[in-house]
Amino acid sequence: MLAGKRILLVIGGGIAAYKSLLLIRLLKGAGAAVTPVLTRAGAEFVTPLSVSALAGEKVHQALFDLTDEAEMGHIQLSRVADLVVVAPATADLMAKLATGRAEDLASTLLLATDTPVLMAPAMNVRMWQHPATQRNLAMLLADGVRLVGPDQGEMACGEFGPGRMAEPEAILAAIEAALSDGPLKGRHVLVTSGPTHEPIDPVRYIANRSSGAQGTAIAAALRDLGAEVTFVSGPASVPPPAGVRVVRVETAQQMLAAVQAALPADAAVMAAAVADWRVANQGAQKMKKDGSGRAPALEFAENPDILATVSKAAARPRLVVGFAAETEHVVDHATAKRARKGCDWIVANDVSPQTGIMGGSENAVVLISDAGAESWPRMGKDQVAKKLALRIAEALQNS
């Protein structure tokens, strides 16, 4: 799939640099050529010898290298590739590119290149969450930089949270998506998926049975057509697809904030089963039986409607797609929902128990749009996802 493609791989200074050695092997295995660039800090974690031995090419390290300049100037070096990949992308490299600094070979190449850039951030969770990094990230995304990861999990520094570099397989999938000539190449699509969890107290929550299967299949299908996908997921029971930017949330309020932070997007597909209500009188401590036999009274507050909010947003995606799970009068209810929420399409389905759709692998949907209601035959959720992704690509091409 990557035969004939050249990747300029910038390896920054982080413990995740060892994963970049695996990435080089995967890239070579997929038929790509790799031009490696190692920053000074990167060379503290992996050796130039390992990098060049795996890449089968010279590793570039210094901005003022007479031999390099005689053979191929750094400006030219920045343009030989089909894609520039920064892995690990440290907070420092992100800050340099966001603010246009060019003080070493890596930052100069990033500023001089006219080739798309894909970053795989890796840093301590606090560094990732710091407002400065998030500001830089927003600027980089607005400049068209693509992102893979970071993942959430145990970190080398002993802390837990977002900041782990995406796994080499996921970076490879993102590289393939970035280089694919699919109809969604260069488009950013936002997908919400999974249930939300609404806490009752620190140990209990209210949830629903959404598995996240349909949303995950849609994100993968959009990725396969070349889209850059931001996947905002509640606690789903199926794992997120590789090669998309995953933002994990728990509550509806967190999902709304994550969705707003991910805009602008060309299209949004809101497949999440968002809880309509949250507990207004959440316990700060675990609620206890008091021996009186009286059950606690939960009070509820209405959650924000994410689909309706995005449909009205100043940065509204050109195409907003909502879902409607109904148990009767599917077309009538979904048509009314489309008008009420202000979205462009509603993908409606009948989830009454006898259909076996909820939690099953098949789906039978009706697509409601300006043009009316179009029934699709019953098919696998993956097929529904592929068909929907193609329709989204068509709609974006025609608008």
**Angle CA(119)–CA(122)–CA(126) in degrees, nearest 5?**
125
Strand pairing category for 188-193 and 267-270: parallel
Chosen residue from 151, 167, 176, 305 binding ligand C5P by CB under 6 A:
305
DSSP string, 107-171: HHHHHH--S-EEEEE---HHHHHSHHHHHHHHHHHHTT-EE---EEEE-TTS-EEEEEPPPHHHH
Residue 272 is a binding residue for ligand C5P (CB under 6 A): yes
Residue 270 is a binding residue for ligand C5P (CB under 6 A): yes
- What is the spatial distance between Cα 189 and Cα 191, in angstroms, rounded to a whole number? 7
Chosen residue from 133, 216, 303, 335 binding ligand C5P by CB under 6 A:
303
Longest C-alpha distance within the chain, in Å? 86
CB of 4 to ligand C5P, least distance (A): 41
Chosen residue from 323, 357, 366, 386 binding ligand C5P by CB under 6 A:
323
Mask of contacts with ligand C5P, 196-215, x by CB under 6 A? --------------------
Residue 266 is a binding residue for ligand C5P (CB under 6 A): no
SS3 content of the chain, % helix, strand, coil (to 5): 35, 25, 40
Backbone angles phi, psi at 305, to 5 degrees: -90, 105
CB of 272 to ligand C5P, least distance (A): 4
- In a 13 Å sphere around the CA of 382, the CA atoms on its Cβ side amount to 3
* Lookup result for tokens 């933002």: 247
Closer to ligand C5P by CB, 37 or 217: give it.
217
- Cα dist. 196→212, 219, 329, 336 in Å? 10, 18, 26, 24
Chosen residue from 232, 252, 265, 365 binding ligand C5P by CB under 6 A:
252
CB of 255 to ligand C5P, least distance (A): 8
Closer to ligand C5P by CB, 17 or 268: give it.
268
Of the candidates 350, 352, 354, the residue with the CA atom closest to the CA atom of residue 365: 350
Q: For ligand C5P, which stretch binds (CB under 6 A), given 116-124, 226-234, 266-274, 360-368? A: 266-274
Which is the catalytic residue, given 157, 203, 301, 339? Answer: 157
Residue type, 259: V
Backbone angles phi, psi at 143, to 5 degrees: -80, 0
- What is the spatial distance between Cα 357 and Cα 22, in angstroms, rounded to a whole number? 40
Q: For ligand C5P, which stretch binds (CB under 6 A), given 72-80, 97-105, 204-212, 303-311? A: 303-311
Chosen residue from 59, 95, 324, 367 binding ligand C5P by CB under 6 A:
324
Mask of contacts with ligand C5P, 368-397, x by CB under 6 A? ------------------------------
User: Under a CB-based contact definition with an 8 Å cutoff, are residues 120 and 134 in contact?
Assistant: no
Closer to ligand C5P by CB, 81 or 252: give it.
252
Total chain residues near ligand C5P (CB under 6 A): 14
Q: For ligand C5P, which stretch binds (CB under 6 A), given 17-25, 223-231, 322-330, 379-387? A: 322-330
Closer to ligand C5P by CB, 58 or 333: give it.
333
Q: For ligand C5P, which stretch binds (CB under 6 A), given 10-18, 221-229, 239-247, 300-308? A: 300-308
Chosen residue from 54, 306, 388, 393 binding ligand C5P by CB under 6 A:
306
Told to judge if 157 belongs to the known catalytic residues of this protein, a careful annotator would answer: yes
* Lookup result for tokens 């919400």: 192
Closer to ligand C5P by CB, 110 or 244: give it.
244
- What is the spatial distance between Cα 91 and Cα 131, in angstroms, rounded to a whole number? 12
Catalytic residues: 157
Q: Provide the binding-site residues for ligand C5P, judged by CB under 6 A.
A: 192, 252, 270, 272, 274, 276, 303, 305-307, 322-324, 337
